[in-house]
Chains A and B, each alone.
Chain A
């Protein structure tokens, strides 16, 4: 076998092996999207009920709570960025990190110091590589977050919010919203101080509070932050799987293309080899024939 042909065959084998891996990852992600999506849906009744309750308390009570009152002169903000633990998901992690950069730049333009809280190894590495300060980081659960993880993250955020000195005045969450299988967009949400969202349809009932409004609010707000963080994590996980599936699908398609063109090249090389052998034989026979003809 000629050297050229051997090189082509070797490259084909390597591309085929890569294709098997990307194909497997594509299938795994595809099956996990569904599950992640179901978890997003399953968590939404809780988040909706909580949002409604918080809105009700915040609009009907004139309670002065640090978590609801916007600071007149905000100096410090906590920014939670949710990215992936693993790569191979196209621009997924980068998009969220870039969105985070924009938010932080906007905060600094307003004279607010931004503390970065990071979820996901990719975000952590990005910040470490650039020697930026990290206020807190969590890794290891980006593709399948549990409520425990959300609780851990939000308790750190709430602690920062209620700290005596240098407390954070704002909390922003950056996550990737799962719009559909093909569209996921990084979004920023201000969670605290509470922005009373547009009044839900219909008038809110005049609630009685047990034991009283401020107690309820005290207990409610941490839960609210937890629910928001958890929801953001679940959506991000669904988006991560969708992004990975898409990236792996295009990698598989690319491998197919490569295999096709390499097969063509290998065939051409084989043909050339055969042609050369034939012409060598013909040439040799010709030479023999003319030699024996000349000797007669």
Chain B
């Protein structure tokens, strides 16, 4: 089931901030910037303060400023957990 899109969810403790289909997600982890494309290997990363940008399927791009958090990727499902987004 190799779909060519990522299902992305950006959630903060208070609510779901954004969810939808995207073609690319990029974020900054402790080790440096990473970009996630469809069919990325499962990953759990610690994010540092900074921006997460998402390229949605419809071509629009979304930017979220996060203060610490996590990114988890598995089977084309990306969840970004932000302390505050």
Interface of A with B (CB < 8 Å)? 39, 42-43, 45-46, 49-50, 52-53, 56-57, 147, 150, 205-211, 215-216, 219-220, 223, 226-227, 230
Contacts of B12 on A, CB cut-off 8 Å? Answer: 46
Q: Is B34 touching A210 in the complex (CB atoms < 8 A)?
A: yes
Main SS of chain B's interface residues? strand
Q: Is B75 touching A205 in the complex (CB atoms < 8 A)?
A: yes
Q: Is A50 touching B74 in the complex (CB atoms < 8 A)?
A: no
| Docked CA distance A50–B71 (Å) | 10
Q: Is B44 touching A56 in the complex (CB atoms < 8 A)?
A: yes
Q: Is B72 touching A49 in the complex (CB atoms < 8 A)?
A: yes
Interface of B with A (CB < 8 Å)? 9, 11-16, 29-31, 34, 41-46, 68-70, 72, 74-75, 79, 81, 83
Q: Is B81 touching A223 in the complex (CB atoms < 8 A)?
A: yes
Contacts of B81 on A, CB cut-off 8 Å? Answer: 46, 49-50, 53, 223
Nearest Cβ distance between residue B46 and chain A, in whole angstroms?
A: 5
Residue of B nearest to A146 (CB): B14
Q: Is B43 touching A39 in the complex (CB atoms < 8 A)?
A: no
Main SS of chain A's interface residues? helix
Q: Give which listed residue, B14, B31, B41, B75, contacts A147 with CB less than 8 A.
A: B14
Q: Give which listed residue, B15, B42, B68, contacts A208 with CB less than 8 A.
A: B42
User: Given A205-B74, A210-B31, A46–B13 Cβ distance below 8 Å?
Assistant: yes
Could you list some 24 contacts between A and B, CB below 8 A? A42-B16, A46-B11, A46-B13, A49-B9, A49-B11, A49-B72, A49-B79, A57-B44, A205-B74, A207-B42, A208-B41, A208-B44, A210-B30, A210-B31, A210-B44, A210-B45, A211-B31, A211-B46, A216-B45, A219-B70, A223-B69, A223-B70, A223-B83, A227-B13
Residue of A nearest to B29 (CB): A210
| Docked CA distance A287–B74 (Å) | 105
Q: Is B13 touching A230 in the complex (CB atoms < 8 A)?
A: yes
Instruction: Please provide the 5 A-B residue pairs with the shortest distance between their CB atoms, ordered closest to farther.
Output: A210-B45, A205-B42, A42-B15, A205-B74, A46-B11
Q: Give which listed residue, A42, A43, A206, A215, contacts B30 with CB less than 8 A.
A: A215
User: Given A205-B42, A210-B46, A220–B70 Cβ distance below 8 Å?
Assistant: yes
- With a 10 A CB-CB cut-off, give which of B14, B31, B41, B68 has the most chain A CB atoms: B14
Contacts of B14 on A, CB cut-off 8 Å? Answer: 39, 42-43, 147
